[in-house]
Amino acid sequence: MGGSCRVHDDERGTVLFLTVMLLSILLILAGVGVDLARVWVAREQAQTAVDAAALAGAGAAVRYVTVSVRPGHCETCCSDDGRCRCCCVSDPVTDRTGTEKYMIEQGGWRRSRCDSFLGIRHRWLEYPSDTGRIARQMINLNYPGLLGPGGGGEPVSQTVKVFNREGDRYYPSVMAGIRGNVGTAFLNIAGIDDLPVDNCGQAASFYQVLREGMVYGRNGAPADACRENQGL
């Protein structure tokens, strides 16, 4: 009686090979995930830094006003009974300019008791000369550690731009930017040594616009300065 012969392939080597391949792929994906997570964290930290810098700069704005005043001077007036007192005599209307805090809150528009306040003619903002320094200090306080040598990264540039002229499209606002690179641990196997970080933040200062005593609404800079100024 004839018999049949079965040949069983030894698949243990194939399973081991597939297991090694799968583990290798998982390790690579995990490594790539670590690199991408580092970049994500660096970008989040960089955005916090530039937003804080822009807000600090915008918060340094000083409000100015030009007010109309009818000045007066004191002349002595005496009654029939011989009693004398100060009589205010009006002089030509004049404009006086200064910070809003001094001119309005502290009454700096008044030079004598005979002066009369006629109203605000013009109102605007100015950023102090040290606004840029204030914003840069805020960047440095919140600078992403992953962009520094200790985090395996490399800072490329940090920039602050202050729009301080009424004619500027983005007046009144402050813009801050950070550019750098985060070093990779696993992607460099594929020739990618670092990944870029490029963040920008803008903050505007708002105020009621007054010209010639007329209210022209709330003023603030367009919010697209970062998009329009990619060269930061």
The string of pLDDT tens digits covering residues 12-51 is 566 555 655 665 565 555 556 777 888 898 999 999 999 9
Task: Write down the pTM of the prediction.
Answer: 0.75
Residue 29: its pLDDT value, please?
A: 56
Specify the amino acid at residue 65: V
In the numeric block, the tokens 């995990």 are attached to 30
Q: Are strands 214-219 and 153-163 parallel, antiparallel or unpaired?
A: unpaired
Can you list the alpha helix ranges (DSSP code H) found in 60-179? 100, 131-141
The string of pLDDT tens digits covering residues 136-192 is 999 999 999 888 777 777 888 899 999 998 888 899 999 999 999 988 877 777 778
Residue 25: its pLDDT value, please?
A: 61
Positive or negative, the CA dihedral 72, 73, 74, 75 is: negative
Give burial (CB, 10 Å; 0-12/13-18/19+) of 180: buried
pLDDT above 60: residue 227 = yes
Specify the amino acid at residue 31: G
Check: CB of residue 191 under 8 Å from CB of residue 97.
no
The string of pLDDT tens digits covering residues 155-170 is 888 999 999 988 888 9
How far apart are the C-alpha atoms of 124 and 206, rounded to whole Å? Answer: 10
Residue 160: its pLDDT value, please?
A: 94
Tell me which residue of 212, 65, 78, 48 sits closest to 140, measured CA to CA: 48
The fraction of the chain above a pLDDT of 90, given in percent, is 41
